[in-house]
Amino acid sequence: MSLLDILTFPNPFLKNPAQPVAQIDGQLQAVIDAMAETMYQAPGVGLAAVQVGLDKRLLIYDIAAKEDGRQLHVLINPKIVSQEGEIISENEGCLSVPEFRSDVKRAAQILVEGADRDGNPLRFEAQGLLAIVLQHEIDHLNGTLFIDRISSLKRQLYARRVNKQIKNQER
Please write the tens of the pLDDT for every residue from 20-69: 999 999 999 999 999 999 999 999 999 999 999 999 999 999 999 877 88
CA distance 40 to 61: 10
Cβ contact 74:36 at 8 Å:
no
Q: Which pLDDT band holds residue 1 (cuts at 50, 70, 90)?
A: low
Domain topology for 12-170: Peptide Deformylase (3.90.45)
Q: Among candidates 43, 29, 42, which has minimal Cα distance to 1?
A: 29
pLDDT at 171 over 80: no
- Neighbouring-strand partners of residue 47: 60
pTM of structure: 0.94
In this predicted structure, what is the pLDDT of residue 91? 95
Q: Which residues are catalytic?
A: 137
Indicate the domain borders of the chain. Answer: 12-170
Cβ contact 96:14 at 8 Å:
yes
